[in-house]
Amino acid sequence: MNIYPKLIMDALEKVRYPGNGKDLVTAGMVEDDIRIEGMKVSFSIVFEKPNDPFIKSVIKAAETAILTYVSPDVEIKGNIRAVAPEIIRPEPDELLPDVKNIIAISSGKGGVGKSTVAANLAVALAGLGYKVGLLDADIFGPSQPKMFNVEDARPFMEEVNGRELIQPAENYGVKMLSIGFFVNKNDAILWRGSMASNALKQLISDANWGELDYFLIDLPPGTSDIHLTLVQTLGITGAVVISTPQEVALADARKGISMFTGEKIDVPVLGLIENMAWFTPAELPENKYYIFGKEGCKRLAEELDVPLLGQIPIVQSICEGGDSGKPVALNPDTITGAAFRALAENIVVKVEERNRNQDPTQRVIVTVK
C-alpha cells in the first residue's frame, strides 16, 4: 500500500493531547516534517516544554493510532521525535522592560571620538525609524548635552503610573539623559566610583525611557568600576569599541575588548569602529590622507576576530557638528552623514543576527526515555 501524509494526519486526529483535550492536529502539535520512505514514517510532535509530563504517553498513543488506522505494517516505533522550544530565553531586562536592545559604546582611551560617534549613531538610528535613547554616562566629560543642543535643558520629574520619573531631554528623535545635567563637570570627576555608579543607575531605573528599540550608553573611556556596575545592572545586548587607527589607541582598544569578553563581564562585542580613519579635505573629496595610520582597526578586528562595523573619516564638519549641536548624521546625503547611516545599518544587522541566534522559538529535541 502507499502511505500519504494525509493518512498519517487523519490517524493523529484521533489522538488527544491530555494537556488541553484537543487532538494533536487541531492543537497544531504535528510538525510539518512528515517523511515517508516506503513503509517507514517519521515526523516530530511539538510540546510546549521539554519536561511536558505527557510526552511519552502522547508518542505511544500516536504510534498506536498510526498502526491501527493506517496499517499495522508502518515502521513507526522510535521514529516520532518530540521537540520543544529551547528553554534558555533572553531575559527581558528587569530595569528596562520596554527596551529591546542595549548597546554599550566604549573606547580604550579618551579623545578618539567616542561621544561624537555615539551622538551620530543615535541620530542615524532615529533617522532609520528606530526609537532611540542615549545615556551619557561619561562622567569625565559629559558632552552629549552640547552635541544635542540641549545644554540648557533641566530634566524634570513626572509622575508615571504612580512613580516619579525623570523625563529625558529629547532632540532629533533621540531621548537623552546626561550625568552633565545634574552635576557640574568639575564635581563629577571627583566622584568616587560608587557615587557615579549610583547616579547612573538612577538615570537608568528612575527615568521615563518608555519603549525603545535601541538604548545607547556612552561609557567613560577605559575600564572602570562604572563599566562593571553597568554591565552587572543591565542586560547589555552588545558593546561597540571605538578607536582611531593609531597604535597607542589600538593598544587600549584591545584592552577594552578583552574587558568585555572577560569572564567577569562577558558582554558580546558587536564590533570595532574606526574613527578618524583618514582625513579628506572638503575641496578634494577623493583624496584620503591616513594621518593616524592606515587600517589599524581593520587589522585589530581581524586579529581579534570581531567585525569592523565602520570607518569614519576626519572631516571638519563632524567636529563642527558636535560643537554646534547639529550632528552630521542629521543629513544622510552628505559623505559624513552617509558614513554614520551605513554604520547604524551595520549595527542593526549585527544586533538582529545576535537576537536571531537567541530566538526563543528555537527548538530542541527531547529525548524520550
Q: What is the crossing angle of helices 296-304 and 247-261, to 10°? A: 30
Q: Give me the least distance between CB of 314 and ligand ADP, in Å please.
A: 4
Query: How many CA atoms are closer than 13 Å to the CA of 313, on its beta-carbon side?
Result: 20
CB 12 within 8 A of CB 61: no
Pick between residue 43 and residue 278 the one whose CB is nearest to ligand ADP: 278
| Among the listed residues 167, 141, 139, 164, the one whose alpha carbon sits nearest the alpha carbon of residue 153 | 167
CB 274 within 8 A of CB 310: yes
Pick between residue 113 and residue 245 the one whose CB is nearest to ligand ADP: 113
Q: Which residues contact ligand ADP (rule: CB under 6 A)?
A: 107, 110-116, 141, 143, 221, 275-276, 312, 314-315, 318-319, 322
What strand order describes the sheet that includes 363-366? 35-37, 40-46, 80-85, 363-366
Instruction: Name the residue type at position 171.
Output: N
Contacts of 320 (CB under 8 A, 6+ apart): none
Q: Give me the least distance between CB of 304 and ligand ADP, in Å please.
A: 20
For cell 557615587, the residue is: 195
Query: How many CA atoms are closer than 13 Å to the CA of 332, on its beta-carbon side?
Result: 14
Pick between residue 44 and residue 143 the one whose CB is nearest to ligand ADP: 143
- 254's enclosing H/E stretch is helix 247-261
DSSP string, 46-86: E-SSTT-TTHHHHHHHHHHHHHHHT-TT-B-TT-EEEEEE-
Strands 174-178, 132-136: pairing is parallel
Pick between residue 75 and residue 295 the one whose CB is nearest to ligand ADP: 295
Pick between residue 217 and residue 276 the one whose CB is nearest to ligand ADP: 276
Pick between residue 8 and residue 242 the one whose CB is nearest to ligand ADP: 242
Q: Give me the least distance between CB of 105 and ligand ADP, in Å please.
A: 9
Q: Give me the least distance between CB of 116 and ligand ADP, in Å please.
A: 3
Q: Give me the least distance between CB of 339 and ligand ADP, in Å please.
A: 9
Pick between residue 143 and residue 208 the one whose CB is nearest to ligand ADP: 143
Pick between residue 29 and residue 343 the one whose CB is nearest to ligand ADP: 343
Task: Return the residue nearest ligand ADP (CB atom).
Answer: 113
Cell of 166: 525623570
Q: Could you tell me how far CA 157 lies from the centroid of its own chain? A: 29
